[in-house]
């Protein structure tokens, strides 16, 4: 590890820089099932690339794509589906019995559930095209069902791309579903990862319930301050670190000073 800066007067590391592979190793140890994460930064800075890279180390992933057919998510190699099983508890039943119990589900989910029952991973993108109002409505219903499925099944890491689109009352209006999952999903081993561009217009539970926040370079001082305060960190220190971030680099913020130093890295392209 390379110490980039220290807390004045203490000698304790304030921020460290890690190569991507070492950062993934750190997160496999530090980011446990049931812990949530918020990813905040402008478009084009690498949010989806970074999170999709981390999700490769999670066994069960539901990546929600509300804006439809996101190219970066597609590049992750996850299986894309445009429907959910009729019975969300089928996944839990299959894990318990290691048998196929969802005969009425579409063939793609048959394969996904059988792979899980055999001990394999399942990393799934949920979302279809969204070019028309009718497709938007179908995607909105799909997001609603995805939250219900993940909540009933338990054990998934749920990635919500474009969180503002999902939670805004003017758009998908599913803030209540997300908040309920953020608050209550920990006991089921469900982790929620939210990704968005700014603290405005999104539920504050995204950072209040997060064990980690990730922030990219930004000139928005109010946003840096809000994120730091939500994570129990000194906003003046975080501001200095964010100002020094190169393009496509991220600063990971563990909750509270006792959570450890800030960690900076950059993810390779998918």
Exposed, middle or buried, 165 (CB in 10 Å: 0-12/13-18/19+)?
Answer: buried
52-66, 83-97, 127-141, 227-241 — which is least confidently predicted?
83-97
**Domain tally, the chain:** 1
CA angle, 15 as apex, 9 and 20 as ends, to 5°?
160
pLDDT at 84: 80
- 205 located within any domain: yes
What per-residue string of b and e applies to 32-59 under the rule 16 or more CB within 10 Å gives b? ebbbbbbbbbeeebbbbbbbbbbbeebe
pLDDT at 36: 92
pLDDT at 241: 92
pLDDT band with cut points at 50, 70 and 90 for residue 23: very high
Cα–Cα distance for residue pair 8/82, rounded to 1 Å: 52
pLDDT band with cut points at 50, 70 and 90 for residue 21: very high
Where in the sequence is the domain holding 74, given as residue range(s)?
Answer: 2-265
- 66 located within any domain: yes
Length of the chain as a residue count? 270
pLDDT at 30: 95
pLDDT at 211: 93
Q: Round the average pLDDT of the chain to a whole number and report it.
A: 81
CB of 122 closer than 8 Å to CB of 60: yes
CATH of the domain at 108: 3.40.50.300
- 270 located within any domain: no
């Amino acid at each position: 590890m390379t110490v980039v800066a220290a807390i004045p007067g203490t000698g304790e590391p304030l921020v460290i820089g890690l190569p991507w592979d070492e950062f993934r190793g750190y997160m496999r140890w530090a980011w446990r099932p049931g812990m949530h994460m918020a990813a905040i930064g402008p478009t084009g800075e690498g949010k989806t690339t970074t999170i999709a890279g981390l999700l490769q180390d999670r066994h069960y992933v539901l990546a929600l794509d509300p804006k439809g057919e996101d190219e970066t998510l597609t590049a992750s190699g996850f299986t894309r589906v445009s429907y959910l099983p009729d019975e969300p508890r089928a996944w839990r039943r299959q894990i318990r019995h290691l048998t196929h119990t969802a005969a009425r589900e579409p063939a793609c989910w048959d394969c996904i559930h059988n792979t899980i029952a055999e001990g394999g991973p399942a990393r799934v993108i949920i979302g279809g095209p969204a070019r028309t109002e009718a497709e938007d409505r179908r995607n909105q219903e799909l997001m609603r069902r995805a939250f219900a499925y993940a909540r009933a099944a338990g054990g998934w890491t749920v990635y919500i791309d474009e969180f503002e689109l999902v939670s805004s009352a003017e758009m998908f209006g599913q803030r209540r579903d997300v908040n309920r999952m953020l608050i209550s999903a920990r006991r089921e081993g469900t982790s929620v990862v939210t990704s968005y561009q700014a603290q405005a217009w999104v539920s504050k539970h995204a950072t209040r319930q997060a064990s980690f926040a990730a922030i990219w370079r930004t000139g928005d001082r109010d946003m840096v301050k809000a994120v730091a305060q939500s994570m129990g960190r000194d906003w003046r220190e975080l501001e200095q670190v964010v100002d020094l971030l190169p393009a496509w680099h991220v600063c990971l913020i563990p909750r509270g000073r006792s959570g450890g130093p800030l960690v900076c890295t950059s993810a390779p392209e998918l």
